[in-house]
Amino acid sequence: MADAAERRAYLELHTAVFLFGFTAILGDLLQLSALLIVWWRVLLTSISLLFLIRLGRILRDLPPRTILVFMGIGVIVAVHWLTFYGAIKLSNASICLVAMATTSFFTSFLEPLILRQRVKGYEILLGLLIVPGMVLIVNTTDLSLMTGLWVGLLSAFLASLFATLNKKYISRSDELSITFLELGSAWLFLSLVIPVYGLWTAEPTEIWPPRWQDWMYLIVLSLLCTTFAYVLALRALRHLSAFASNLTVNLEPVYGIILAWLILNEHEELSAGFYLGVGIILLAVFSHPFLKKRFSNTV
C-alpha cells in the first residue's frame, strides 16, 4: 500500500514538474517585468483557490501561529519566483532552469538541519555531484548571461528552503489551504513591494498587462502551472522526502530546456559543454531512487 502511494506521489510530482518547466517558457514570452509577472501569477492563483476552499473555515480552524508560518513561507515563495523570473530576464530560460537543478544540493544540507534528521551520506554525494555539472555550465556560459546564472542559484536556494519548510509543516493543514495561505501572502507582500520598487528605481510598475497575449500566458501560468501543479507537488510531499521531491524537481531543466529548444530556439546560444553539464546533473537525479532503495535495504 505504501509503495502504491509512493508511486502515485512520484507520478503527481512528475506531472507538476513538467508544468513547472513550462513556467520558464511563459516567463520568457511575457512582456512584463519579473515583479509584475509574479504579482499577477499569485493574484490569479489566489482568486482561483477561493472557489476551492472555505476561507472562513481556514481562519477559524487553524491556530494563528500556523497561519503566520504558512504566510512566512509564502514570502519566501514570492522572493523565489522574483529571482526565478529575474534570472530568465537576465539570461535565458535554459540557464535559469539549470541553475534550479542545484536545489537538491542545498536541500541535502537544509533538510537534516531544519527537520533534525540524520544526515544521509548518499544524498550529500548526489548533491555534490551537481557541482561539477554546474562548473561545466558556468565555464561554457557567455559572460553576459552570468548574472542570470547567479540569480538563478539564489532562486534554487530559496526553492530548497521553502520546500523543506513545507515538508516540516505540511501535516498541519490540507494542500489547498496551504497553497492559498502561501500564495495569498505572496501577493500581499508583493503588493507592498511594487510601490516601493517604483519609487526606488523610477521604473513604471503599472499592474495592467499591456497586451492581450499576456492575459493568455498569465492564465495558463496561474491556473495550470501554479494552482494545479502546486497542489500536486504538495500532495506528493506527504509521501516523499523533501530531498527526493527536490531531486525530482531537478527534471524541470530537462522539460524546460526541451521546450526552450522547440519554442524559443535557445539551443543556438548554448554549447556542448552546457549540455554535458546538464547530463551530469541528470545522472544525479536518476541515481537517487536506486541509491535510496539500496541503502534502505541495508539498514
Domain ranges (residues) in the chain: 2-298
Neighbour count for residue 137 (Cβ, 10 Å): 25
Neighbour count for residue 128 (Cβ, 10 Å): 12
Mean pLDDT of the chain: 81
pTM of the prediction?
0.79
User: What's the grid cell of residue 180?
Assistant: 492559498
pLDDT grade for 4, boundaries at 50, 70 and 90? confident
Please state, in angstroms and rounded to a whole number, the distance separating the CA atoms of residues 158 and 82: 11
Any residues with CB less than 8 A from the CB of 107 and at least 6 apart, and which?
Answer: 127, 160, 163, 164, 242, 243, 246, 247
Q: What tens digit of pLDDT does each residue of 198-231 get?
A: 666 555 556 666 678 889 899 999 999 988 888 8
pLDDT grade for 124, boundaries at 50, 70 and 90? confident
Average pLDDT over residues 33-42: 89
The DSSP code for 141 is: S
The answer to whether the beta carbons of residues 172 and 66 sit under 8 Å apart is yes
Q: At what angle do helices 2-29 and 242-249 cross, to 10 degrees?
A: 40
Please state, in angstroms and rounded to a whole number, the distance separating the CA atoms of residues 69 and 172: 10
Please state, in angstroms and rounded to a whole number, the distance separating the CA atoms of residues 176 and 272: 42
The DSSP code for 206 is: -
The answer to whether the beta carbons of residues 240 and 13 sit under 8 Å apart is yes
Q: What is the pLDDT of residue 210?
A: 65
Q: Please report, to the nearest 10 degrees, the dihedral formed by the alpha carbons of residues 258, 233, 135, 80 taken in order.
A: 110
Please state, in angstroms and rounded to a whole number, the distance separating the CA atoms of residues 214 and 164: 32
Higher pLDDT pick, 3 / 217: 217
